[in-house]
Structures are given as C-alpha cells and as structure tokens.
Amino acid sequence: MATRNIRIIMEGVTGRLGTNQHLVRSLMAIAKEGGLPLRDGSCLMPVPVLLGRNPDKLAALAAANGGLEWSTDREACLADPTNEIYFDVASTGGRFDRAMSAIRAGKHIYLEKPIGASLDEAVRLARAAEAAGLKNGVVQDKLFLPGLQKLGKLKKSGYFGRILSVKLDFGWWVFDGSLYPAQRSSWNYKKAEGGGLILDMFPHWRYILDKLIGEVRSVSCISTTQLPRRVDEQNNSYPVDVEDHVVAIAQLEGGVIAQIFSSWTTRVRLDDMLTIHVDGTEGSAVAGLHDCMLQPAVATPKPVWSVDNPAIHAEGLREAWQPMPDVDPFLHSYRAGWQHFLRHVVEDAPFPSPLIDGAKGLQLVEACHRSHSERRWIDLEPLDASAGNAA
C-alpha cells in the first residue's frame, strides 16, 4: 500500500491541550496505526513539526514521541515548502498574526478556537484563507463526542418532529485555590490573558446549536463574577476581572428558544458536566458527553402533581427515559476532527467547520458581551467568508 507523508507545523503544542489531544491522541495515534486510509487505497501519514518558544520543552516532547522534528524559528518553518499545514494551539493572543503569516506563506490552516481576539480579526482570517484558495478549518471537537453524535442522528432522522426548545446546562465548581488547587489555570480568569467564560465556552455553544439544532439568530445575555478573587499557581491572590457565571437565552432559526446556563461556580447534580435537553413535538432527548437518553411522544408519562406525597413526583419520571444504544464506533473527538481536515486537504472531502464558523463563535461572544452591557437583545447577522476585503 502506497504511503504519502503530510508535514504539519504544530505551534503551541507543548501545552496540555496541544500535547494530549492534538498530538498524542490524534496525529500520533493515526501514525501508530499506519496512517489514514484514503479513497485511492493509499495511506496518509501525518508528520508533525513542533514549533514553539521553549527549546527544552520542544526537545522533550519531540523525544517522547519518537524523535519528531522541532523548531523555534517560525519563519523557517513557514518558508519550508514541504510543510503543507499550519496548526495553532498556542495562546489566543497573537493567533491572528501567526495564522495570517501562515496564510501568506501558502499553508493550509487549522486553528483552535477562538481563532482571533475579535470578530473583525476572525472574519479577516476566514476571508484571507478563502481568497488564497487554502483549505481552512477551526477545531470543533464537541461535535464528535458520542453523546452529541447521537443527538445529531436523532435530528437527522426526524425523531424530534418540530423542535420546540433547547436547554444547555454546563459547568462545575472550579476551586478558588484557597482550599484546594484550582482545576483551571489562572489565565482563564484574567481578561488581558484571554480569559473569561464567554470567550472560552460560547464559541462551542454556537457551533453546537448551529450544527445540531438551528442557527443562532439573536441572543440576550447576563453575566457576573461570582468569585472576585482567586489564588494562582504560585499561591498568590489575584483579582478576577472576567465573568465566571453566564445565563443567556438565544432564539434560533424557526423560532426555537435555547436556554444556556454556563458556570464555573456551580456544583454538579446532573448526569454530566454538559447536558443538552431538546424537546420536540414527537419526542425529547437529553445528551451528555457520552450518553443520550430518549423519551418519544408515545412513551411520555403523565406526571401527577402532589403536594402531599413527595415520592409521587419522582415515581416513573426518570425510568421513562430510555438510553440510545451505541451503534456506530466513536473516534476520539479531536482525532475525528483531524481526520476530516486531513481528508479535506488531500482529497477535497467536505469539512464541516471552515474558519468562518470560528468567526461565528466570536460573533456570539461579542453579542453576549454587548447584550449584557446594553441590557437588550442583540441580533446576529449572517457572515460570509467570500465577501469583502481579504487583506
């Protein structure tokens, strides 16, 4: 079987997300299995080229993965014509400039979200990549989680009938660092370093709603900072200047109402840290990261309200839901995205998440901030990667 190598510049991959999800569990996993099978019967072998600022970390990571190439010279990596793809998982600050340099160098572009610091930057990136004729995409890993894949199957099959409403519930308690160490890095709570719950998570909610339910048309949002001080990795107290608790209502195409609850200051008493409850005329479903529970219209129980008998409230309500079986095999969610993008580059296969989708995520972020500031609904206009000036 013929094998073709494809060299991929991976910038910022020494961080936890880049190392674990994108390098080890995605590209190196593909390589260890002999490459990615293509339509013509050949295999595509990903060849990561690690790029970053810390030579010690790069050398250690490269050695731990079989002696990969690494460099601290971005210009040299971009100038090398054998490097075909540029991937960025470094800090959000500076991502626009790094990606634009890669576009000017003629590299296909795959970026972690958010793809820029603003909607304007994101749209300019998407248009520049399209104008240059380059394959481009943003990571949308949540779409490939088993629970959300099952939800997508239900939507595609027409199971819900007419979708009426969606409830997206996300979050957990992130310790402030005084009693126990925080589970999230301190930069998440500093505006200057790209922190904030809306910027971190609402790009995810945008593509989940757009792709699985219906496009977001307008939003009303309120946010707050519940824990105003936290303790960082050096045990120093610092002020939190971003939101850590957000409630939003969005109207989707077709008039569907979506309730979005997101918090780093809530204690979980749900089936998962992310649950998406969809109600339709013909049935309902509740999806988590891995599982999906169903309740079709014909099997919907008739609850009895009783202030005298507390037990009657719960009787039969949870039991009336049935699990959706595992039928399709599920890949690691980040690996699934990489495989789609690699086939997009090499075979021109469809790719569900071009950079303009990353811009839509930032559009929702800015609309939520504006809604909170102005205390009103904000409409979201359609975005087009082919319009306007790409420069």
Q: Domains of the chain (ranges plus CATH)?
A: 3-140+332-354 (3.40.50.720), 143-323 (3.30.360.10)
What length is written for the chain?
Answer: 391
Contact between 103 and 80 (Cβ < 8 Å)? no
Contact (Cβ atoms closer than 8 angstroms) between residue 265 and residue 244? yes
Token readout for 236 is 């120093």
Q: What is the pLDDT of residue 319?
A: 85
Give the pTM: 0.94
Residue 67 pLDDT greater than 60, yes or no: yes
- Pair of tokens at residue 164: 């009426």
Quote the pLDDT of residue 389: 43
pLDDT category at 390 given cuts 50, 70, 90 is very low
Tell me, what DSSP letter sits at residue 310?
T
Strands 43-51 and 36-37: antiparallel
Cβ neighbors of 370 (< 8 A, separation 6 or more) are 378
Q: What is the pLDDT of residues 207-222, one digit of tens each?
A: 999 999 999 999 999 9
Residue 62: how many other CB atoms lie within 10 Å = 20
- pLDDT of 103 higher than 50: yes
Q: Tell me what pLDDT residue 122 has.
A: 97
User: What is residue 271's DSSP assignment?
Assistant: S
* CA gap 157, 14 in Å, rounded: 41
C-alpha count within 13 angstroms, C-beta hemisphere, residue 383: 26
| Mean pLDDT score, 299-314 | 74
Distance CA 269, CA 261 (A): 14
pLDDT given at position 290: 96
Identify the CA nearest to 77 among candidates 67, 87, 91: 87
Looking at the predicted structure, is the pLDDT value of residue 52 above 50? yes
Q: Is 218 exposed, middle or buried (0-12, 13-18, 19+ CB in 10 A)?
A: middle
Per DSSP, which regions of the chain are E strands?
3-11, 36-37, 43-51, 69-71, 83-88, 108-111, 136-138, 163-171, 216-224, 229-231, 237-239, 245-252, 257-263, 274-280, 283-287, 292-296, 322-323, 378-379
Name the percent of the chain lying above pLDDT 90. 90
- The Cα 192–Cα 141 span in angstroms is 26
Residue type at 302 in one-letter notation:
K
Q: What percent of the chain has pLDDT over 70?
A: 96
pLDDT in tens, 147-158: 999 999 999 999
Average pLDDT over residues 70-91: 97
| Tens-place pLDDT, residues 18-48 | 999 999 999 999 999 999 999 999 999 999 9
pLDDT of residue 310: 65
